[in-house]
Amino acid sequence: MQSRSPASRTGRPRSATADAAILAATREALVELGWSKLTLGDVATRAGVAKTTLYRRWAGKNELVVDAVAELFDELELPDRGSLAADIEGVVLQFAAILALPEARSGLMAVVAEATRDEALRERIRASVVDRQKRLVLEGRARAQDRGELPPEPDSASADRTVDLIFDMVAGAVVHRTLVSAEPADEEWVRSFTRVLLHGLGG
Amino acid sequence: MQSRSPASRTGRPRSATADAAILAATREALVELGWSKLTLGDVATRAGVAKTTLYRRWAGKNELVVDAVAELFDELELPDRGSLAADIEGVVLQFAAILALPEARSGLMAVVAEATRDEALRERIRASVVDRQKRLVLEGRARAQDRGELPPEPDSASADRTVDLIFDMVAGAVVHRTLVSAEPADEEWVRSFTRVLLHGLGG
Amino acid sequence: MQSRSPASRTGRPRSATADAAILAATREALVELGWSKLTLGDVATRAGVAKTTLYRRWAGKNELVVDAVAELFDELELPDRGSLAADIEGVVLQFAAILALPEARSGLMAVVAEATRDEALRERIRASVVDRQKRLVLEGRARAQDRGELPPEPDSASADRTVDLIFDMVAGAVVHRTLVSAEPADEEWVRSFTRVLLHGLGG
Amino acid sequence: MQSRSPASRTGRPRSATADAAILAATREALVELGWSKLTLGDVATRAGVAKTTLYRRWAGKNELVVDAVAELFDELELPDRGSLAADIEGVVLQFAAILALPEARSGLMAVVAEATRDEALRERIRASVVDRQKRLVLEGRARAQDRGELPPEPDSASADRTVDLIFDMVAGAVVHRTLVSAEPADEEWVRSFTRVLLHGLGG
DNA sequence: TCTTAATCGAGACGGTACGTCAAGTCTTCTC
DNA sequence: GAGAAGACTTGACGTACCGTCTCGATTAAGA
């Protein structure tokens, strides 16, 4: 999450529970107030922690919210459901369920918006959220290739590009459906989406 | 954009140029400062207008930014390039070009984030941005059906759902590629995306 | 007191009552809290005024306290009591009475202490407090010379030096008695002091 | 200086050098920063000592500064110069020289100001600074009476009152001249002051 | 020589106030 | 009556110190 000075053996150690309390308080405040009305002073109060403790560990609101939201996505899994279509539908539904949480909705787009002007924040999001979940695409493709549902990749550069493309298409569609169009990504929608993704508009 | 009191005949009329100046100043400030550091006082100063004038016409920062950004998307067109694939590639490239503008990047995601907690704002975005551009999907589909590239829709409810799905997939993928993955949606990427959209992952 | 931008005709004028309320609130806070625990936020609250209003008019705590305390000394007068000794005793008792007020005790020495490191503040104190009261010494001497109690001054440079000396001796003795020795400058003490001042230790 | 727990025989003894280092660091910080910007954390750092060490020995900033400043006045002496006037001039010049030191100027008035609201601090100042230097007045008077320059005191109560009065007049005048009027108490001024003190205004 | 106990450094802790800034409203004068 | 100017209240910002605490490591004196 946040780095501490590596060579610090002396002095009072940081409270281990404070981190968890702060991130939980951040999510709670996101639910109640949303990103723009969330204040670090309020988060500190909710966490039962001093404002300085919070500033000692995170550089600001953006970094804190990224960490608080990133934890939500770590529970995503790709259980083997027997076919590529079923696998995709399963993980997309999980993803949609997380995006239905107010703490994710409010926080995620806000930090993405901030990241358009902040390279370091963009990198933090990529590391904490995006790259961490690309594993799902990799795993799903490998499984589908084992099953013979997808052909092997001709070369690794092309393979990487395809992973990125699929990730952008899946995540983008779900996010846009959920947050911009503001419609639920329910089972019916997910089935339609998966059909188009696998077989194209003509199918 | 903003409503004015309908029964106002008397008194000094509102300056007609002020609106345009304010929206232009808003976009300029978005470029220089980004959404979170944009202040209405600064916009007023840039526009050569008093803060009160600004508040008289827009309720707040979000509404102002939605209007300022929405104007950017009105120039999207769907010229007939002879095939569905070429039409999609053309409009997606236009969309990507707009999202490459700093004033669009900074503002769009921020108001979407705010909209997760503000129904009226969500509606304003839908009306000013989303629904206004769905025409492109409708037009492209009709043209493709005329050409015989796509089958006619069985019923209108299903047709609407498909339009929404395609719009979410196209807009979502471009936005995610551009703003979250922070990679350019260049011609190569657009070709790959269009191929998957039309023929599916297996193709 | 504080300067305002000279070329400001337009805009809302500064509230005239706010100044008086702030200075009164400052004296009240000095009484209750003393200089070191007085906070500008608290003064603003007491005065029913926003913190920004306060900072718009004074540069900081020191300048504010100087102005608040200086007003206390303006009521000093030198009524003609018939003899130099009686005149001195009268004004010294008035001075002692002001120094007995908690708002004066707490504030005066603190700003003098700050002034040891701040030329501008020293000048402000000199202008607001010291020079304003030297008139009492000048007036007393002139009256005593008219009565024939004191000889006329040989030259004006020497006259100025004597005024300064007398002022330092009178003010210094009362301040030291009151604040450092922390004993009351009562009538008995004032009589003894005046006797020594007029006739020397031997008398 | 500071009291330690009386019943502490065992355990590691307090570092003897720390006290001197802390008081020296305090004076150094007074010179550079003045009283109001002096922080105990900074003093601790300058002294090469932990903040806890400092708080273990002094109750707070005021007590520390009193001790640091009081040491400066211990070097005052009253060498026998042959006459009362010469003796007074000598000691007043020494006193003025100490008050010309930045560490004395900044600290002394500040703690006096704090003492207006703190009885214990007032007592500490009286004990550490004021009473310790009254010996000079007593010694000077005794010497003058031996020389026949001053009459013997009629009774001891009156004698004490006179000592207090003289001390307030001398110390007060020098302090006021130096810190409030902010003019040097040079030889010329000291001669004039001594003349008035011994012979009165009329002389 | 081996406890024993208060010291030492370092630095995190819950707090408070700082001085600044933006939001949105109000007041005055001008066009 | 709209508009420009700018003072107003409110409240969050991020920083700096406060005085307290926890920690592991010294350091002398007494057992």
Q: What mean pLDDT, rounded, does chain B reach?
A: 90
Closest residue to F30 (CA, C1′)? D10
What does the pLDDT read at residue B202?
78
For B164, half-sphere exposure in the C-beta direction (CA atoms, 13 angstrom radius) is 20
Residue % of chain C over a pLDDT of 70: 95
pLDDT in tens, A159-194: 999 999 999 999 999 999 999 999 999 999 999 999
Do the first three CATH levels of A16-57 and A69-199 match, i.e. the same topology? no
Mean pLDDT within D21-26: 97
How many angstroms separate the CA atoms of C55 and B89, rounded?
58
What does the pLDDT read at residue B3?
41
Residue from the list B108, B113, B164 with its beta carbon closest to the beta carbon of A110: B113
What does the pLDDT read at residue D1?
47
How many angstroms separate the CA atoms of B19 and D160, rounded?
84
Closest residue to E25 (CA, C1′)? B52
Q: What mean pLDDT, rounded, does chain D reach?
A: 92
pLDDT in tens, D34-67: 999 999 999 999 999 999 999 999 999 999 999 9
Q: Which nucleotide is nearest to B14 (CA to C1')?
A: F2
A-proximal residues of B, 112-171, CB under 8 Å: 112-117, 122, 125-126, 130, 149-150, 161-162, 164-169, 171
**C-alpha angle with apex C72: C67 to C74, nearest 5 degrees?**
95
Could you tell me if B174 lies within 8 Å of chain A, comparing CB atoms?
yes
* B132 CA → F10 C1’, Å: 39
For chain A, what are the domain ranges? 16-57, 69-199
B-proximal residues of A, 41-70, CB under 8 Å: none
The residues, ordered by sequence, that sit 6+ positions from C9 with a Cβ below 8 Å of its Cβ are: none
How many angstroms separate the CA atoms of B130 and A180, rounded?
8
What does the pLDDT read at residue C2?
47
Distance from CA of C31 to the nearest CA of D (A): 9
How many angstroms separate the CA atoms of B78 and B193, rounded?
18
Size of interface C-D (CB pairs under 8 A): 164
More confident position, C182 or B11: C182
Q: Inter-axis angle of helices A84-99 and A131-147, to 10 degrees? A: 160
Mean pLDDT within C132-156: 93
Going by C-alpha positions, the residue among D89, D71, D87 that lies closest to residue D79 is: D87
Q: Which residues of A touch B122 (CB under 8 A)?
A: 182
Mean pLDDT within B31-48: 94
What does the pLDDT read at residue C15?
87
* B116 CA → F1 C1’, Å: 38
The residue of chain D with its CA nearest to that of C141 is D201
The residues, ordered by sequence, that sit 6+ positions from A23 with a Cβ below 8 Å of its Cβ are: A64, A67, A68, A71
Residue from the list A102, A106, A176 with its beta carbon closest to the beta carbon of B175: A176
What does the pLDDT read at residue A203?
66
More confident position, D7 or B190: B190
pLDDT at C67 over 50: yes
How many angstroms separate the CA atoms of D119 and C182, rounded?
10
The sign of the torsion formed by the CA atoms of B98, B102, B106, B111 equals negative
The residues, ordered by sequence, that sit 6+ positions from A143 with a Cβ below 8 Å of its Cβ are: A78, A80, A84, A87
How many angstroms separate the CA atoms of C150 and D203, rounded?
10
How many angstroms separate the CA atoms of B144 and B164, rounded?
17
Q: Which nucleotide is nearest to D49 (CA to C1')?
A: E9
DSSP character at residue D48: T
* C42 CA → F21 C1’, Å: 30
pLDDT in tens, D124-183: 999 999 999 999 999 999 999 999 999 998 899 999 999 999 999 999 999 999 999 999
Mean pLDDT within B108-115: 93
Please determine, looking at this structure, whether the domain spanning B16-57 carries the CATH number 3.30.1300.10.
no
Distance (Å) of CA A17 to CA A23, A25, A48, C128 = 10, 12, 11, 56
Substitution target in A103, A168, A186 with the highest count of B β-carbons within 10 Å is: A168
pLDDT classification of C10: cutoffs 50, 70, 90: confident
Distance from CA of A109 to the nearest CA of B (A): 5
Could you tell me if A101 lies within 8 Å of chain B, comparing CB atoms?
no
More confident position, D5 or D143: D143
Between chain D and chain C, are at least 3 CB pairs below 8 A?
yes
C163: left (phi over 0), alpha (psi -120 to 50) or beta: alpha
pLDDT classification of B18: cutoffs 50, 70, 90: confident
How many angstroms separate the CA atoms of A133 and A76, rounded?
8
Distance (Å) of CA A55 to CA A40, A49, A128 = 9, 11, 20
The residue of chain B with its CA nearest to that of A144 is B202
The residues, ordered by sequence, that sit 6+ positions from A100 with a Cβ below 8 Å of its Cβ are: A178, A184
Residue % of chain B over a pLDDT of 70: 92
What does the pLDDT read at residue A10?
80
Residue from the list B106, B162, B201 with its beta carbon closest to the beta carbon of A117: B106
Q: DSSP of chain B, one letter per residue?
A: -----TT--SSSPPPHHHHHHHHHHHHHHHHHH-TTT--HHHHHHHHT--HHHHHHH-SSHHHHHHHHHHHHHTT------SSHHHHHHHHHHHHHHHHTSHHHHHHHHHHHHHHTT-HHHHHHHIIIIIHHHHHHHHHHHHHHHHHTSSPPPSSHHHHHHHHHHHHHHHHHHHHIIIIIS-----HHHHHHHHHHHHHTTT-
A48: left (phi over 0), alpha (psi -120 to 50) or beta: left
Q: What mean pLDDT, rounded, does chain C reach?
A: 92
CB contact under 8 A, A112 and B109: yes
**C-alpha angle with apex A192: A191 to A195, nearest 5 degrees?**
85
**C-alpha angle with apex A37: A34 to A41, nearest 5 degrees?**
115
Going by C-alpha positions, the residue among A122, A104, A113 that lies closest to residue A68 is: A104
pLDDT classification of D203: cutoffs 50, 70, 90: low
pLDDT classification of B122: cutoffs 50, 70, 90: very high
pLDDT at A2 over 60: no
Mean pLDDT within B133-152: 94
* A53 CA → F15 C1’, Å: 13
Q: Which nucleotide is nearest to B44 (CA to C1')?
A: F4
Substitution target in A180, A189, A191 with the highest count of B β-carbons within 10 Å is: A180
Distance from CA of A181 to the nearest CA of B (A): 7
* A11 CA → E5 C1’, Å: 21
Pair of tokens at residue D184? 């040097």
* B51 CA → E23 C1’, Å: 11
pLDDT classification of C203: cutoffs 50, 70, 90: low
Closest residue to E28 (CA, C1′)? C12
pLDDT in tens, A127-140: 999 999 999 999 99
Residue % of chain D over a pLDDT of 70: 95
What does the pLDDT read at residue A116?
92
What does the pLDDT read at residue C190?
98
How many angstroms separate the CA atoms of D46 and A131, rounded?
48
Residue from the list C169, C180, C196 with its beta carbon closest to the beta carbon of D130: C180
Pair of tokens at residue B1? 């954009």
What does the pLDDT read at residue A153?
87
Q: Rounded to 5 degrees, what are φ and ψ at D149? A: -80, -25
What does the pLDDT read at residue A202?
78
**D178 near D184, Cβ under 8 Å?**
yes
pLDDT classification of B192: cutoffs 50, 70, 90: very high
**B166 near A201, Cβ under 8 Å?**
yes
What does the pLDDT read at residue B203?
66
* B52 CA → E24 C1’, Å: 9
How many angstroms separate the CA atoms of D155 and D171, rounded?
24
DSSP H or E stretch at residue D23 = helix D16-33
Residue keyed to tokens 């009286």: D126
**A95 near A76, Cβ under 8 Å?**
yes
More confident position, C178 or C3: C178
pLDDT at D6 over 60: no
How many angstroms separate the CA atoms of D195 and C201, rounded?
10
**C163 near C141, Cβ under 8 Å?**
yes
Distance from CA of B43 to the nearest CA of A (A): 19
- Give A25: exposed, middle or buried? Use CB within 10 Å, 0-12, 13-18, 19+: buried
Could you tell me if B74 lies within 8 Å of chain A, comparing CB atoms?
no
pLDDT at A80 over 80: yes
Pair of tokens at residue C199? 């006739």
Protein fold of C69-199: Tetracycline Repressor; domain 2 (1.10.357)
Could you tell me if A88 lies within 8 Å of chain B, comparing CB atoms?
no
Closest residue to F4 (CA, C1′)? B50
**D128 near C118, Cβ under 8 Å?**
no
Question: Where would I find the H helices in A74-130?
Answer: 84-99, 102-115, 119-125
